[in-house]
Structure 1
């Protein structure tokens, strides 16, 4: 509506000035009025075609019409995205054309009044009027265009920031989901490590207790005591783990004192290499023949490294109890430069030993490999040519690697 009103005003202006133009040139008045009305009405298309509008305004300026069209056209031209070279050229054309028209008009007006003024005064007045009519709309258009571009850039930047925030929120949700999955996997792995070994030994002792209950009461009593000790140890470790899950701050509440409980891992951070003897002793008391060989001087590794080595040996011994009862087992631990290696090798199952019928979930070896890989190590397992099974892992001592 604003553009239509401006176009109507410009058309009316040009049509009214066309009457004077017809009187000066001898054209029919209706034709001059129609030409002026059509030329002034072109201002309606100033936003789409600002260059032709300004050119038409400059072209009809000698007919003493189109002043509103020049002012509005220059403003629109300066505010648009047209290159500044073209804008400057058209602005100069408009200033020169208006200067010439005003100079001639003022000179003729002075002659008609009989007042002969100096030409330089007329030229000065015409120049000031030409600049006064063209410079303000041109500068205002430049300001409006710069402001519009600034607002658009800020809006695009805000849209970009909004998209980035949305993307960051999606990524944060993905990371949170990944963290939840990792936490569930870690909890499942810890529960497996804590429960599987102790319960497997309890089942083995319970089977032995059932076998010797009638023949050897003293041995049955010892096996029953071992089953109770294993159960109490499992409950103690489960209580510590559940305490971590409840508090959520990594601290554990001290378990209630229990009488006659064999020494479990004393530190709240998990087992270490010094407790391998106790772990192997539990399997030996269950009737398994286990031999431990240590190569190299004892080195204190990071807590995660020692805990992972312990869990590898624990999982391997548990699998021997499940799948190869009565087999002989060799545990080899090697302290090397910047790494620690462990090998658990068992022979074929002894056919004389009774199968305890322990179930297997199939996740122990997978969890063990996840532990080792998370610390930058490697873990392999597989059957041997003699019919046994081997599990080996190598973990780097990251402190030694960094120091080196």
Structure 2
């Protein structure tokens, strides 16, 4: 994991506390040692003239210059000390390199700006005063015989000011620039680290949303498959049982039952084909090799079932499969499907299977959204399927009410007839769960439970936003 700027600063501070050496890189050590040696040699040579003027032994002046010049070695750790030493030795006319580098180091460091301005001002005043005094002496000695030239006029102060600014201003300005640039780079680095963390969090959230979308799509497909297959196959099984019972006794009735079984099977295949067609349209081309629509649907379904981030199935990335599933769900929601107009045919199919079903419609028929009509149809369909499975021979009443702002449906059956043999249909226990999920998804109310007469009642109310 990449360390942030704060972590690096903390690490550098901790290293400085544990060790006397404060340099972070080897080249910094080499640079500072080189500058310190050059400054010591300069101050040592300048110490010869200082010793003669101060009437002290030359070795003492040289040694003093070497010691003063070597102070530049600590410019990164104590820049204020370097600047103060350079100001102190300014009257001795030594330490010019130390003064320039010291001002630069002070301006580029994290020392408060008021200290930098104060020390830079002190250094400027010291250099200016020494320069003025030295220039007056030099001009007085050089032009002692010229009566028309006065060195105490404008010449010496102006030239001294230019020389002073030329020595002090460039290192201070350059140091301020380097310090600001360093702080900007550190800020950009910290911002980049922060953005990297935010992008990582966004990627995790996107993966969670994609996984949720895949799970939601798997649930929707399973619900549609259950509604389509369970009802049609249940009726087929009921008719097949009736066909087996009357095949020898009533050949004409057996022929009618066989035709009904064929019709049910064709309807089931048609609905399954439409559903798989929607999935094919929502599945992108995954590879350059050609693949059949059926294999594309199979690959998309298996990849969605895996739910493993970053995996693939038949060359289809899970992210693409998630997008295809979402597109398939949207296309299925917007496409045509069973509606309330088909309830009469649905009830008639149950009647042909031998179930006594009464359809009661209340209120004026209106057109609703595709999702509302499909959900209402599926609720009635699943309730009738449960009657075929669990209440053989029971009488059923299907009520549909068109109200202001909502549509309500209720399927109520009486107790099953013990004298009628059941068809032995299996039950997965997902019918009521699927109905509740469908109704809740649209913001409706779903209630189911046994009645006092020994039957069972399923009721649902769906809100209607607008008619179409």
Q: TM-score, normalised by structure 2?
A: 0.76
Partner SS state of residue 466, structure 2: helix
Partner SS state of residue 398, structure 1: coil
* Alpha-carbon distance in 1 for matches of 2:335, 2:191: 51
* Alpha-carbon distance in 1 for matches of 2:246, 2:234: 19
2:237 is aligned with 1:239: no
When the two chains are superposed, the root-mean-square deviation of aligned CA atoms in Å is 2.5
Structure 2 counterpart of 1:361: 428
Contact 2:136 2:152 in 1 (8 A): no
**Residue 149 of structure 1 is aligned with which of 183, 200, 222?**
183
Per-residue deviation, residues 39-79 of structure 1 (Å, max 9, x unmatched): 22222222232222222221222222221111112112222
2:385 is aligned with 1:318: yes
Unaligned runs of 5+ in 2: 1-29, 145-149, 285-292, 294-333
2:99 is aligned with 1:32: no
* Alpha-carbon distance in 1 for matches of 2:409, 2:74: 85
**Residue 215 of structure 1 is aligned with which of 229, 249, 252?**
249
Alpha-carbon deviation of 1:112? 4.4
Per-residue deviation, residues 244-287 of structure 1 (Å, max 9, x unmatched): 2223379xx9xxxxxxxxxxxxx961101111111111111111
Per-residue deviation, residues 56-107 of structure 1 (Å, max 9, x unmatched): 2212222222211111121122223333222211211111111112122223
Distance 1:56 1:393, change over 3 A: farther
Alpha-carbon deviation of 1:208? 1.8
* Alpha-carbon distance in 1 for matches of 2:436, 2:48: 98
Partner SS state of residue 457, structure 2: strand
Listed as ranges, the matches of 1:3-402 within 5 Å are 3-113=32-142, 115=144, 117-248=151-282, 269-399=336-466
16-25 vs 305-314, which moves further: 16-25
* Alpha-carbon distance in 1 for matches of 2:364, 2:236: 34
* Alpha-carbon distance in 2 for matches of 1:235, 1:43: 90
Q: TM-score, normalised by structure 1?
A: 0.88
* Alpha-carbon distance in 2 for matches of 1:26, 1:202: 125
Unaligned runs of 5+ in 1: 254-266
123-132 vs 170-179, which moves further: 170-179
Distance 1:248 1:26, change over 3 A: same
Structure 1 counterpart of 2:287: none
377-386 vs 84-93, which moves further: 377-386
Alpha-carbon deviation of 1:315? 0.9
